[in-house]
Amino acid sequence: MLEKRAAEFQLDEEVREKTVKEPFDSQYRCGALLGSGGFGSVFSGQRLCDGLQVAIKQISSDRVQQWARLPGEVGPVPMEIALLQRLAEVGGHGGVVRMLDWFEVEGRGFLLVMERPPHGQDLFDFITERGALPERLTLRFFRQIVEGLRFLHAHGVVHRDIKDENIVVDTRTLDVKIIDFGSGAPLKETPYSEFEGTLGLQPPEWIVSQAYEAVPLTVWSLGVLLFDMVCGDIPFERDQDIVAAAPVFTRRVSKECQSLIRWCLSYRPEERPTLEEILSHPWMGGGEAEEEEEEHSSLPSQSL
């Protein structure tokens, strides 16, 4: 089934009318640099027609690792654009960043115009400022992330780099979004033989056999992320620790939360839960109203 979705994604021959759109500079204003890395650079931006604040990701063509073809386009586009376009066409999801537009600009490569939460902060900085998060706040974030990943997988996309830096928190609403699909790929049931994510966050099977499957990789990443939120740092730094798959809890964490983390960080991929099993875990059963009240009271008011 997953292979079929991936094939549909790659081979979709639906004829779409290609419209000529206005150039980037006549629609958007590019602002200050927000961050940069191996993928390219991200700038603040504004849509000129209505003043909407956006994020503009610039990708140099020579840095693109994977290419794809979109119906109606003459040349190939970065896989990231193809994946985000696919998600936009099915309506998007509240827990996943939305691509609003994209452009290929001579001399600048590809420009991706993304939605930008008005009070956004990436989860890495959020944790750095506050330290380990209360479990109820962690639960609120984690549930949204898992639901967002279910949406991705249901529409044939695997992210492959789930980590705190790729989660944006709206500090006013405490809603989160998964961002940065630069390591993403079409979802398939067969193993992947290339690792596009962050070194140090790879699962044991990649270290041991240089292969992994989409869902077990995602769940391993979720285990690392959940540990990171409740303990304030990732559980493993070295390959030998990853392969040992025995997280040591550095803070007081409930038994239910520990059990979910250890399940996600099972050494054997087939022993890890599915995303649906994660959502059914006893730790995930906290009440929404109580969560929100405790979360807001647990955060320093000046941080919001």
**Which CB contacts under 8 angstroms, 24+ apart, belong to 81-87?**
81/110, 81/112, 82/9, 83/157, 83/181, 83/184, 83/185, 83/186, 84/112, 84/181, 86/9, 86/155, 86/156, 86/157, 87/151, 87/152, 87/155, 87/157
Number of domains observed in the structure of the chain:
2
C-beta separation of 130 from 303 below 8 A = yes
The pLDDT assigned to 4 comes to 44
Among residues 12, 101, 125, 161, the one annotated as catalytic is: 161
Same domain, 228 and 136: yes
CA distances from 180 to 18, 80, 82, 133, 218 (A): 26, 8, 13, 23, 15
| Residue owning tokens 């009440």 | 287
> What pLDDT does residue 286 have?
67
User: Do residues 220 and 136 share a domain?
Assistant: yes
Written as tens digits, the pLDDT of the chain (304 aa) is 544 444 445 544 443 444 568 999 999 999 999 988 767 899 999 999 999 999 999 999 988 989 999 988 888 999 999 999 999 999 999 999 999 999 999 988 999 999 998 899 999 999 999 999 999 999 999 999 999 999 999 999 999 999 999 999 999 999 999 999 999 999 999 999 998 888 889 999 999 999 999 999 999 999 999 999 999 999 999 999 999 999 999 999 999 999 999 999 999 999 999 999 999 999 999 644 334 434 444 454 333 3
What per-residue confidence (pLDDT) applies to 36? Answer: 86
pLDDT at position 198 is 87
Give residue 275's domain range.
120-303
Same domain, 139 and 275: yes
Known binding residues: 34-42, 57, 115, 122
Q: Same domain, yes or no, for 140 and 43?
A: no
pLDDT at 293: 39
- Same-domain pairing of 24 and 86: yes
The phi-psi region of residue 252 (left if phi > 0; otherwise alpha if psi is between -120 and 50; otherwise beta) is beta
Other Cβ atoms less than 10 A from the Cβ of 129: the count is 12
Query: Does residue 216 share a domain with residue 148?
Result: yes
The two beta strands, 67-68 and 53-59, are unpaired
pLDDT value, residue 72: 83
Q: What residue numbers does the annotated binding site for ATP cover? A: 34-42, 57, 115, 122
> Is 281:260 a contact under the CB 8 Å cutoff?
yes
For 123-185, give the DSSP string. HHHHHHHH-SPPHHHHHHHHHHHHHHHHHHHHTTEE----SGGGEEEETTTTEEEE---TT-E
Assess whether 161 carries a catalytic annotation.
yes
Question: Final residue of a domain: which of 72, 87, 115?
Answer: 115
Give SS3 for 219: helix
